Amino acid sequence: MKAKLIRLVQEAKQTLDAFLFFDDDVNLIFECKALELPDRNNDNSISRVPEGKYTCKLRYSEKYGWHYILLNVKGRELILIHFGNYYTDTRGCIIVGNAFTDINGDGFRDVTSSKKTLKRILEIAPAEFELIIVNE
Task: Go through the domains of the chain in sequence order and give each one's CATH number.
Answer: 2-135 (2.40.440)
pLDDT above 90: residue 9: yes
Q: Is 30 within 8 Å of 96 (Cβ atoms)?
A: no
Q: Do residues 79 and 70 touch, judged by C-beta distance below 8 A?
A: yes
User: pTM value?
Assistant: 0.95
User: What average pLDDT does the segment 17-36 reach?
Assistant: 94
Determine the pLDDT at residue 63: 96
Flag whether pLDDT at 91 surpasses 90. Answer: yes
- Which pLDDT score is estimated for 26? 82
Mean pLDDT confidence for 111-116? 98
Angle, vertex CA 112, rays to CA 7 and CA 57, nearest 5: 60
Instruction: Determine the average pLDDT of the residues in 108-127.
Output: 98
pLDDT of residue 136: 82
pLDDT digits (tens, 9 = 90+) for 51-88: 999 999 999 999 999 999 999 999 999 999 999 999 99
Dihedral sign computed on CA atoms, order 87, 93, 97, 99: positive
N-to-C CA span, the chain:
22
pLDDT higher than threshold 90 for residue 3: yes
Res. 2: pLDDT tops 80:
yes
| Percent with pLDDT over 70 in the chain | 99
